[in-house]
Every structure is written in structure tokens, then in C-alpha cells.
Amino acid sequence: MDDFLAARMQMALSLGFHIIYACIGMVMPFFMAVSHYKWLRNGNDVYKNITKAWSKGVAIFFATGAVSGTVLSFELGLLWPEFMKHAGPIFGMPFSLEGTAFFIEAIALGFFLYGWDRFNKWFHWFTGVVVGVSGLASGILVVSANAWMNSPAGFDYVNGEYLNIDPIKAMFNDAWALQALHMTIAAFASTGFAVAGVHAAMMVQKKNVNFHLKAFRIAASFGAIAALLQPLSGDLSAKDVAKRQPAKLAAMEAHYHTQASAPLLIGGIPDPENKKVDYALEIPGMLSYLAHGNFSAEVKGLDTIPERDHPPVPVVHYAFQVMVGIGTFLMVLSVMLLIAFRRKQWLSARWFLMLFALATPLGFIAVEAGWTVTEVGRQPWIIQGIMRTADAVTPMPGIAWSFYLFTAVYISLSIVIIFLLHRQIKMVPVQYDVPAGSSQKH
């Protein structure tokens, strides 16, 4: 494996790993806060147990997210020193604010995890909310840095020099708001369906149904609201990308040739050699409508962009299809959940719970796919239109070895975490089981 590819793979691996833990770490505190609130309000101990059980998951995910985030802050330089040398002072502002948000999150988590029965109960609840809010803030801030790579702002690029640097302008770049919105909703949807799916799977096995049903309702509600909102944010993002990064949009849709009334392709196998797509389902005019709000508008194809600036089309196209496909499926599940809240018998029906159990990993697969779209779709640029990824890579040889090493570490960590969660869930009956009848005030 050549060093450049290895560096890209290592970065992708590290981010792909971190993104899951970061999402869970920033979203689950909100689930906990709801459950915790219910316990404080109505004294039903099942909710206390759910909060405690979830908080153990959060502790594991937060620690993993924190260390993998620390790794990333070094890897930016270890792998892309040339990029950081120039970009650091420009897009560093959100990172310095994120440092604060992350720090507050860590402090609040210390209070929350170790503060049971030690503080005023509402103060304790509040520290849990702070964990969520500061986690969300740090997520949104980090997306600003990524958005800057897609939509560089806050400097003038003159003869290879970065002049008139304005970090505030760089932070409020054009891509930030929509990217942050899309990512935040995605975090809620993926975590919501993942957590709901685990509880659904336990209900399928008829284990501790009272406990798992309550947990399921909270997590699935968050997931469903997010999944129903996501298409709106996706639509805004698509229009934005069409305007700012036509090459990315063209790669997402494998849209090789500029065309008025461009069709939307569903599925299909891009053929980069002959610049065509085989076996795709075409919806006439739909791409023009989605990109420009007009069925007959012209959509720029890859033919308007020099070949050396093309992103790899098949990867981006497949990833986009996966993201949209899963998003649509989760939307259907969300509607079914709303129906189930009316028709209570669904909530104990095996087929219904099985559907949710099967959907457990889907949200995160969509997150990884969406992130692949935005990152691979930006290639060959590390800073869109300014610096090529290949020019940013470290001069140190042998990066392939470090890639293998990190791959081994991240795979073993993932295995251990799945193992730990399995054990946590297995122990639920021992640690938290409250018989269905005993939900009175205490």
C-alpha cells in the first residue's frame, strides 16, 4: 500500500471510528435526561434504572470518544502536516471553542456519573443535561472545521500564500450551518434507532419487557423525530452542494454529462471508463428539481470539470445511495412508530419489534455513508479548490505500518466494546429488574 493511500485510509478509519462514539456520546445524554426527568417527576424506579443503565453505556462511549478524539487532534498533524501548517491558523477557531465545550462536557460527566445521591437531585439532573448540550456544541463546532474544507473562507489565496486571515469568517463559512444541521439530526436518528433496536431485540426475547419497553419508547421517539426531519435538511444540503461543489453533486449522482431536465438515478452501477451508468432507475427531471428547484434546470455534469479534479465517482455514488436508501427506510419506520403509539398492540408484536431490532446498525451505516459522500466527494482536494490532499501528506515513509497498527487497535477496541455492551445488557435482570407491578412512588 502506498503511503498516501495509507494516510487516507488511516484518517478515514480514525474518523469513521470516532464519529460513531461521538454521536452516541452527544445524543444519549438527552435520552438519559428524559428518563431521569421522568423518574424525578413520578418516582417510577424503572426510569431510574434505565438512566443508570444508559449512563454506563455513555461512560464507555464517552471515554472511547474522548481518546479517539485526542488521537484525531494529533493525527491531523501526523498525517497532514502541510495542511495543518496553513489551515491551522485559519480554521482553528472552532477547535479552540470546541476545546472549551469538550472540557465542560468532561467536567459535567464527572459530576453526573459520580454524583448519584451526593448532590441536590435537580442539580444532578442538570449536570446530565450539560453533558448533552456541551457535547452537541462541540459536535457542531467540529463540523464547522470540516465545512471549511468544503467551503474555504476567511483568507485570500495569492500566489500560493494564505493572506488576510480572518478566523471568524472562516468559522462562519457557507457550508457550516447546513452541514451541522444534517450531522446533528443524523446523530439523533442513528443513535435513537440503534438504542431502540437493542431494546426491541430484548423485548423480542421477552426479557424484562417493562424495562425495555420504556427505554425503547424514549430512544425510538428521538430517532423517529430526527428521521422525519432529516429529508428536509437533506434537501437543503443537496441544493447547497449543487451550488458550491458541483463536482461532488455530480459524483453523488454519477452525473457525467451536463444536462437540462436531468433525471434522478436510483441505484445503478457507474462505469467511469465510458462515463455512463448501467441498470439505474431514472426519475425524469427529478435531479434538476432537487438541485435547483426546477424540473427543467440544467445540472452541471462532470464534463464541466477537468478530469484531474474529479472525485472517485463509484464510491461516492454508492455511498449516497446507501445513505438515502437507509434514510427512507428509517422514515417509514418512524411513521410506523407513530402509528404504534396509537395502536398499542404493535408495541408488543414480534414483527414490529423485529423490524426495529434489524434496524439497529442502519442509522450508523447511513452516517458512515453520508460522511463518505462529503469526504470522498471533496477529493482530490483537502481544501476545496486550494490544496490537494496529495500535497498535504506527511513526508514520513512507512505510513502503511501505522495504518495496520491503528486498524488492529480500532478493531480490537470495537470488539471489546460490543462484548462489554453485551455483558451490560445480559446483567440487566440482575442489576435493575423491577417487577411490572411495583412502579409506585418511593
Partner 1 sequence: MEYIVITYLWLAIVLYFLLGGADFGVGIIEMFTSTKNISRTRRTMYHAIGPIWEANHMWLIIAIVILFVGFPVIYSQLSVHLHIPLVILLLGIIARGTAFVFRHYDAVRDNMQEIYNSIFVWSSFITPLFLGIIAGSVLSGHIDAKAHDFATAYVFSWLNWFSVAVGLFTVALCGFLASVYLIGEAEDAKDHHRFIHKAKTMNIAAVCCGALVFLAAQVERVPLANWIFGDAVGLSAVILATLSLVLLWTQIGSGRTTLLRILVGFQVTMILLAISYAHFPDFVIIRNGENLSLFTAQAPEKTMQALGSALLIGSVLILPALFYLYYSFQKKKVNGS
Residues of this chain that bind partner 1 (CB under 8 A): 56, 59-60, 62-64, 66-71, 73-78, 81-82, 84-90, 92-93, 95-100, 102-104, 106-111, 113-119, 165-168, 394-397, 402, 405, 409, 413, 416, 420, 423-424, 426-427, 431
3-state helix, strand, coil in the chain (%, to 5): 75, 5, 20
The radius of gyration of the chain from alpha carbons, rounded to an integer in Å, stands at 23
Q: In terms of CB distance, is 107 or 365 closer to partner 1? A: 107
- CA dist 367 and 187 (Å) reads 8
Helix (H/G/I), strand (E/B), else coil: 269: strand
Specify the DSSP class assigned to residue 262. P
By C-alpha distance, which of 361, 367, 269 is closest to 315? Answer: 269
Q: In terms of CB distance, is 102 or 364 closer to partner 1? A: 102
Minimum gap (Å) between residue 16 Cβ and partner 1 = 15
Minimum gap (Å) between residue 314 Cβ and partner 1 = 32
Q: In terms of CB distance, is 44 or 138 closer to partner 1? A: 138
197 and 423 Cβ atoms separated by less than 8 Å = no
Helix (H/G/I), strand (E/B), else coil: 117: coil
122 contact partners, CB below 8 Å, separation of at least 6: 40
- CA dist 365 and 359 (Å) reads 10
Minimum gap (Å) between residue 133 Cβ and partner 1 = 12
Q: In terms of CB distance, is 335 or 405 closer to partner 1? A: 405
Minimum gap (Å) between residue 115 Cβ and partner 1 = 8
By C-alpha distance, which of 226, 221, 170, 169 is closest to 199? Answer: 221
Q: In terms of CB distance, is 62 or 222 closer to partner 1? A: 62
- CA dist 374 and 377 (Å) reads 5
Minimum gap (Å) between residue 259 Cβ and partner 1 = 43
Segments of 236-345 assigned E as strands: 259-260, 264-266, 269-271, 276-278, 281-283, 298-299
Q: In terms of CB distance, is 138 or 233 closer to partner 1? A: 138
Segments of 268-364 assigned E as strands: 269-271, 276-278, 281-283, 298-299
Q: In terms of CB distance, is 215 or 319 closer to partner 1? A: 215
Exposed e or buried b per residue across 140-157, where buried means at least 16 C-beta atoms within 10 angstroms of its C-beta: bbbbbbbbbbbbbbbbee
Minimum gap (Å) between residue 396 Cβ and partner 1 = 5
Q: In terms of CB distance, is 56 or 275 closer to partner 1? A: 56
Q: Output phi, psi for 343, to 5 deg.
A: -95, 90
Minimum gap (Å) between residue 212 Cβ and partner 1 = 16
Q: In terms of CB distance, is 420 or 436 closer to partner 1? A: 420
Minimum gap (Å) between residue 226 Cβ and partner 1 = 27
Minimum gap (Å) between residue 93 Cβ and partner 1 = 5
Which amino acid type is present at position 303?
Answer: D
380 contact partners, CB below 8 Å, separation of at least 6: 308, 309, 310, 311, 388, 389, 390
Residue reference for cell 478566523: 167
Q: In terms of CB distance, is 116 or 341 closer to partner 1? A: 116
Minimum gap (Å) between residue 435 Cβ and partner 1 = 21
Q: Output phi, psi for 266, to 5 deg.
A: -110, 125
- CA dist 273 and 270 (Å) reads 9
Minimum gap (Å) between residue 186 Cβ and partner 1 = 24
Q: In terms of CB distance, is 365 or 421 closer to partner 1? A: 421
375 and 12 Cβ atoms separated by less than 8 Å = yes
Pull the grid cell for residue 324. Answer: 438515502
